[in-house]
Structure 1
Amino acid sequence: MTARRWLAALLLTASTLVHAGDTRPGPRAIWIWEGESYAMLEDDAAARTAIAFLKDKAIGTAYVYADAYEGRNLIATQPGRYRTLVRRMHAAGLKVQALLGSGYLHTERYLLPEHRRAAQAMLQRVLDYNAAAAPDERFDGISLDIEPHILDAWATSKMELLGDFLDMSDALVRQKNAVAPGLPMGPAIPFWYDGIQVEWKGRRRPMNEHVQDLYDTVALMDYRDHAEGGDGIVSHARDELDYAARIGKPVVIGVETMPNAIRKVSFHHLREGDMERELAETARAVAGLPGFGGFAIHHYAAYRRWLGAD
């Protein structure tokens, strides 16, 4: 499926959910990190619980971690576990994307030239997995989480690191397109990329535009606890959504449920109804923008804890 056809299908779903009066505007995705993903791969009860929870919360896409954790790399050594889980999630009506990027592995380093091969090997394992899997066992996309601003050098070498991120992205997109051009891939990016002008390959543009041009989609880490106002979700997403409309690629708006010392960054200090109200307000404000691809919640374990599900 081409990026534009994929966008059209996704936006049709979004329109249906928003305008049909659904109390949970969407579509919705969720990040599922290392420990929880490995639990789902290795424990039938954990997988069953997770699938039921996602369905109950109207989450249609799961970003399932697909790299090494605690000395093991199941996608390489036991791909059958992924085949079973992905097939099971598909049977439940869920989409599954391979989540690549890890605090455990410190993959923020992968954007540096000396670690580029590690980034490419990480991606190649997923591409190899999909090539060997049956259609109902394949990932529906790839979600990257490699953030330059986490590196210690960010304070002194911001522009160089952003250039390194774009170079890495260019290499990964070319690698993916060589074998799976129809497989959507996109990174999580902070909402403030639109305020940084970066010169790359002879063109000086906002960082978000470089990234959106390279990838099929982006998940915008739009971490605020309110929709409206100059420091709200809608305002921070506007430039990315406007550019997405111009290039025909979707933007998924990410929100946070983990505790944070800065209250406005997360919904953690509020209630579920408050978040649903703000997401509904966001959806109403951006429903007319063709680049709106729904919401993503960060993240599965934190979301469950916040809701008192654990």
Structure 2
Amino acid sequence: MTSKLFLLLSLLFVSLTAQVHVTTIDPSQWGLTRLDAIRLGQLSLVNAPQGSRLNVQALYPKGYFSNGMISDVNEGCLEAADFSLAFINNLGGSYAVFESPPSAATFSHHVNGRDPLGRLEYTKQSSGYCGLWMHLFNSLSPKEERVYFDATRFASLQIRVRSYTKNERLLLKIADAAWNEEQDAVLVGELASFLPAGRIDTTWQTAVIPLTALPPNLDQSRLATVALEAAREGKGIVEFSSLSFCTSTDARQLRIEELELTRAESLEKAIWVWNTRDLIENHHTVDEMTSFLGTEHVNHVFLALPYDPDHPQASQGVPIDAATLGPIVRALNAAGHRVHALVGDKDFIRPDKRPFVHATMENIIRYQQSVPPAEQFYGIHLDIEPYLLPGFGSIRQSQFLENLLRVFEMCSTLARSARLLIGADIPPWLDAPNELTNMAMEVLWNGQTKPMYQHIIDIMDVVVLMNYRTKAEGEDGVVFQAQNELRYAEAAGKKVFLGLETIPLFDELLFVFRGKPRTGMPIEENAIVIAPGPETLAILVPNKARTELKTLLKEKRISEQHLLWWPVERTTPVSASRISFANGGGLPALRKTIEKAEQILRGFSSFAGFSFHDYESYRALMAK
């Protein structure tokens, strides 16, 4: 973040938090039976033109972390880190550089062909030290719930490594729980001594460290940290592709350099069209749209089905009027576009909504069977975002995800029965651990426990990854965010579009709190307050707003002694310029990002192209 942007967001923070901000919560939606059991939460404050808006995004009770991470042994190895998740490994452990001036180090993530890698760059001086550390436990779990790594069932630690120069030197150190408490680790040896060539050089090699080589004073049932420290003075660059624990001392066979890249076919463009009602009411806008989409060489159109809750048949699924919708589909088909019926709502995952969703699918199929081929859809596209519902960021999250999979499976079965392509929008973080808990977003479905994004790709013919970022490279860029989905879709024989945002968005602030709540009036500079009552209130209280809080409590007839509060642990500004090209860089940035991402990602045969959100805003951006 540039200093100028940070200053602007800091001023935004001051302006937004000069007053109390309030929202209501229903504890049952968050799986809470006692408010004083809350140990972790996140609120967001959105800077909308009509006034700032407070949202509750996460609430977790004590005991949530006790089960640890789900980690499977595949082909005799448990891959603790594959560097695809950006500073969080597969065990929920954080990793980062350590350094003591004047020595210094940085760590970054990149995509090598189809595979992720981590890059350690350092400058080692005669004094000071630097390197990389990695936790083997969930770094965000409270100490009383921490589950350390039990390595007693394994025979070796294996690290895949290469360097930019020959004879690179790294010291391998490991800490158990006790050593980790002292913020120290025990020397195991030089990493090069465990490599086939006896040195770290420019060729990928696997260092096999027999666990019998670990010092006897380490408790292998409670390993906590692996550290790699630069041992050679000067500058160095070392890359890692995996860190695994294996049941044998045979080197794990990885596919880093053996792959022949299968390039994607000619890339396509897709676009969301939400203003269908306007197209119905103003026929000239249809001609304008087809002309624009033709100029932009758009192949796929996700055309929203208009829904009127006051319609006489509104309770019987989203109705489709062939007389009004058919001509629009006909015009798009005639112009060479493939039209997908776009439908969805966050409430579609609710069990009581399932008959409505089923009826909507039947309405689409009935339309499809009743109109001539020129007015038929090519596919059905689902936009169901359950994370917008209260309670998603809670212990109930698995219920939300399972319900989403049930709806997706039902819809895909119905769509295929009518020979319609089925697709869905998914966020880019389903492959990553929860950023507040480091817990994997894995779900047991059809007898298999897998990351949520893999289940969805299995069900769908195509997915659109809502990869809303305004730069191509880096951990927060389009390329890195999409790699896991593209890699899995390639193996599954599916296609992935990468969605890019062009709608103007608002800046927001994220507030994280954790720990046991205090009671009474908050005394910290910035606090999160939960006020029980007929309506349970969540309140963001800045230091300068104590008087306003007292006025609010008086109006709501809430006693100060009943308040639960936590100091704000972390405030994170989220700039809209990071997410939407309407806020960040405009058309030049969009073109630059597409060009760079396309150059890197064409190596994935699953890469279908880009999808733009949405038609009206994309057209406005192109006109500037």
Q: Which has the larger radius of gyration?
A: 2
Q: Distance in 2 between matches of 1:37 and 1:203?
A: 39
Q: Distance in 1 between matches of 2:501 and 2:320?
A: 33
3-state SS of paired residue (2:363): helix
Q: Determine the structure 2 residue equivalent to 1:113.
A: 351
1:243 to 479, 482, 488: 488
2:399 to 160, 164, 186: 160
1:283 to 569, 577, 598: 598
Q: Distance in 2 between matches of 1:48 and 1:220?
A: 29
CA contact (8 A) 1:39 1:47 kept: no
Higher fraction of strand: 2
Q: Determine the structure 2 residue equivalent to 1:40.
A: 279
CA contact (8 A) 1:67 1:122 kept: no
2:580 to 260, 266, 269: 266
Taking the TM superposition and a 5 Å limit, the aligned residue runs for 1:185-264 are 185-195=422-432, 196-260=441-505, 261=507, 262=575, 263-264=577-578
Deviation of 1:85 (Å): 1.3
Deviation of 1:139 (Å): 0.5
CA contact (8 A) 2:499 2:610 kept: yes
Higher fraction of helix: 1
Q: Determine the structure 2 residue equivalent to 1:6.
A: none
3-state SS of paired residue (1:164): helix
Deviation of 1:42 (Å): 2.9
CA contact (8 A) 1:66 1:126 kept: no
Alignment deviations for residues 181-228 of structure 1 (CA, whole Å, 9 cap, x no partner): x31111100011112212223311010000000111101000100111
Q: Quick one: structure 1 residues 155 and 77, their matched pair in 2 at CA, closer, same or farther if it must change by over 3 Å?
A: closer
What letter matches 2:366 in structure 1? D
Q: Confirm whether residue 30 of structure 1 aligns to residue 271 of structure 2.
A: yes
3-state SS of paired residue (1:222): coil
Q: Determine the structure 1 residue equivalent to 2:159.
A: none
Q: Confirm whether residue 122 of structure 1 aligns to residue 360 of structure 2.
A: yes
Q: Determine the structure 1 residue equivalent to 2:324.
A: 81
Q: Determine the structure 2 residue equivalent to 1:302.
A: 617
Q: Distance in 1 between matches of 2:408 and 2:496?
A: 17
Q: Quick one: structure 1 residues 77 and 168, their matched pair in 2 at CA, closer, same or farther if it must change by over 3 Å?
A: closer
Taking the TM superposition and a 5 Å limit, the aligned residue runs for 1:52-91 are 52-69=291-308, 71-72=310-311, 76=319, 78-91=321-334
Q: Confirm whether residue 49 of structure 1 aligns to residue 288 of structure 2.
A: yes
CA contact (8 A) 1:40 1:47 kept: yes
Q: Determine the structure 2 residue equivalent to 1:146.
A: 384
What letter matches 2:458 in structure 1? D
Deviation of 1:236 (Å): 0.7
Structure 1 alignment gaps of length 5 or more: 1-13, 17-25, 102-106
Which deviates further from its counterpart, 184-193 or 73-82? 73-82
Residue correspondences, number: 280
3-state SS of paired residue (2:604): coil
What letter matches 1:212 in structure 2? I
Q: Determine the structure 1 residue equivalent to 2:371.
A: 133
Q: Determine the structure 1 residue equivalent to 2:548.
A: none
CA contact (8 A) 1:224 1:233 kept: yes
Deviation of 1:273 (Å): 2.1
3-state SS of paired residue (1:295): strand
Deviation of 1:77 (Å): 5.7
Q: Quick one: structure 1 residues 134 and 225, their matched pair in 2 at CA, closer, same or farther if it must change by over 3 Å?
A: same
Q: Distance in 1 between matches of 2:420 and 2:270?
A: 17
Deviation of 1:246 (Å): 0.4
Deviation of 1:166 (Å): 0.6
Alignment deviations for residues 96-136 of structure 1 (CA, whole Å, 9 cap, x no partner): 111002xxxxx211111111111111221111111111112
Q: Determine the structure 2 residue equivalent to 1:19.
A: none
Structure 2 alignment gaps of length 5 or more: 1-263, 433-440, 508-574
Deviation of 1:75 (Å): 7.7
Alignment deviations for residues 54-113 of structure 1 (CA, whole Å, 9 cap, x no partner): 112221211111241364579846312222111111111111111002xxxxx2111111
Greater relative contact order (CA < 8 Å, ≥ 6 in sequence): 1
Q: Distance in 1 between matches of 2:339 and 2:291?
A: 15
Q: Determine the structure 1 residue equivalent to 2:338.
A: 95
3-state SS of paired residue (2:461): coil
Alignment deviations for residues 149-197 of structure 1 (CA, whole Å, 9 cap, x no partner): 01012122211100110111112222223x31x3111110001111221
Q: Determine the structure 2 residue equivalent to 1:11.
A: none
Q: Confirm whether residue 175 of structure 1 aligns to residue 414 of structure 2.
A: yes
Which deviates further from its counterpart, 221-230 or 148-157? 148-157
Q: Distance in 1 between matches of 2:455 and 2:306?
A: 26
Q: Determine the structure 2 residue equivalent to 1:7.
A: none
What letter matches 2:580 in structure 1? S
Deviation of 1:301 (Å): 1.8
Q: Distance in 1 between matches of 2:321 and 2:357?
A: 20
What letter matches 2:467 in structure 1? D
RMSD, matched Cα: 2.1
Q: Distance in 1 between matches of 2:281 and 2:339?
A: 17
Q: Quick one: structure 1 residues 67 and 44, their matched pair in 2 at CA, closer, same or farther if it must change by over 3 Å?
A: closer
Q: Distance in 2 between matches of 1:197 and 1:272?
A: 37
Which deviates further from its counterpart, 245-254 or 271-280? 271-280
